[in-house]
Each structure stands twice: as structure tokens, then as C-alpha cells.
Chains A and B, each alone.
Chain A
Amino acid sequence: MKFGIVVNEGPYQHQASDSAYLFCKAAVEKGHEIWRVFFYHDGVNNATRLTEPPQDDRHIVIRWSKLAEEHKIDLVVCVAAALRRGIQDENLAHGFRISGLGQLVEAGIQTDRVVVFGD
């Protein structure tokens, strides 16, 4: 089955990004496809490569980058939400790309299920 995922909250502040990541990991382990993860609202903050958590904490941004690379997951950051919050191509982490809201709608159209993680 093809899944689309929406992440509405930033890393560390809220559990949404962790829950979404663990869901995606479990889904690919079961043989499903994560067709796209769309980052919206403060969720765009998951995409900055300037993130530096303490060493004993999980690195949420790198974790997304790795999962995307291993399973060819399309990580899309909403351009309007990103520009509002200072996320640009210059500080974008590996595996993420910035694009329009149409990519969220397309995920709704092209996948079998959409799951939203937020506040």
C-alpha cells in the first residue's frame, strides 16, 4: 500500500515528527511504500541542516534524511511555510526538497492513505 504522510510540527518541541518517523519506519518494514512525506506549518523546521541536538539525543533531521535515502522516500517541504520560517535551499538537509502545496494535494490523490501528524 502507498502512504502519504503529513508532518505539521517541528522537531523536539512536539512528538509529531517522532511519531511520523516511527510510523514510516514500521510501514516500510511491513513492505508498504511511503510515497511522500510532506512537511507543513512548523513541520518545515524538520528540514534544516543547522539542527544540532545534544550528543545523547536522537538526531531527528538526520534520521529523516537516512530513512529517505534507504527507502527512496520523497521528503517535501512546503515553500510558503518554509519561507515564512527561514528555511531555504541554503540550509536544507540532505534528502529534503522545497516545493509547493500542490505536492500535498498530489499525495492525497496518488496514495492509498494519508496520515497527518501534528499538534
Chain B
Amino acid sequence: MNEVKKFLFVNRKAPYGTIYALESLEVVLITAAFDQDVSLAFLDDGVYQLKKGQQTKGIETKNFSPTYRALDGYDVEKLYVEKESLDARGLTEEDLLVDVTVLGSREMGALMDEQDVVLSF
């Protein structure tokens, strides 16, 4: 009865410097609970959200990066990272704390095109 829509969450901001990444993750978890078709896209500084080895004790802020690893428990398994953004930051897939699908820029654009709802924060 409830229509399933394709939701894409576009993450383009680094963690900790601003709250956007954390509050975006909170929406992702809620959206999954509504049984929607959820995908996450990481571009530009958003790819830093997935960097392994985050240690936030020194800035007295909660390290929320383990939540990305818990996403598959919520049936959120479609995580896409733009290759050009990784390259521009000297990162590779091995630097990331979860399994992702790496896409070229235009493939990322095609993914965006096919969504029903695109949310960015």
C-alpha cells in the first residue's frame, strides 16, 4: 500500500567541521525504517566521512563513523563514491571503512537522474 520511492542522500561535506554529515546520517536511518529504496552518494569532501581510523577523543565530539558500518543492518547497502573525488584527495577504496561502489562522475550523474527524491544537507 505504501509506495516505495528511490531516495538518494548526497553527501558533499566533511565530518566534524559542521554537523551536516551527522544529521544526514540520522535521516538515512529513519528513511530505511520507512522501507524505502535508499542509496547514499559521497562526492567531494563528503568522501572524508568514510575515512578509516577517525579518532575524535581529542575534539570531545562523538565519533559517528561506526554508524556507516552498521547501515547494512538497516538494509542500507547502496553506498556510492565518486572516483574523481577520491583521486583528488589522495584516497583509495582501501582507505574507506565500508564496502562501497566506486563510480565515475557521469555514472554518478546517471544515478542521480534515476532517483525520486534527492536529499542533500
Within the complex, are A and B direct neighbours (CB within 8 Å)? yes
- Among the 9-residue stretches B19-27, B46-54, B69-77, the one with 4 or more Cβ atoms under 8 Å from chain A is B19-27
Determine the chain A residues whose CB is within 8 A of the CB of B64 once the complex forms.
none
- Interface residues of chain B, those whose CB is within 8 Å of chain A, are 2-3, 5, 7, 19-20, 23, 26-27, 30-31, 33-34, 36, 116-121
Cα-based distance from A8 to B23 in the complex (angstroms): 11
26 residue pairs of the A-B complex, CB under 8 angstroms, read: A8-B20, A40-B23, A40-B27, A41-B20, A41-B121, A81-B23, A100-B30, A101-B26, A101-B27, A101-B30, A102-B30, A104-B119, A105-B36, A108-B5, A108-B7, A108-B31, A108-B116, A108-B119, A109-B2, A109-B5, A109-B36, A114-B118, A114-B119, A116-B119, A116-B121, A118-B120
Interface residues on A, range: 10 to 19
> Which A residues are within 8 Å of any B CB, using their own CB?
6, 8, 40-41, 80-81, 100-102, 104-106, 108-109, 114, 116, 118
Known contacts: A6-B119, A116-B119. The answer to whether A105 contacts B23 by CB under 8 A is no
> Are A104 and B20 CB-contacts (below 8 A) given A6-B119, A109-B5, A114-B117?
no
Give the docked Cα–Cα distance between A92 and B50 (Å): 36
What chain B residues lie within 8 Å of A41 (beta carbons)? 19-20, 23, 121
The 9 closest A-B pairs by CB, nearest first: A108-B117, A101-B30, A105-B31, A105-B34, A114-B117, A101-B27, A102-B30, A41-B23, A105-B30
Whole-angstrom distance from the CB of B83 to the nearest CB of chain A? 25
Q: Is the CB of A80 within 8 A of B26?
A: yes
Q: Which residues of A contact B30 (CB under 8 A)?
A: 100-102, 104-105
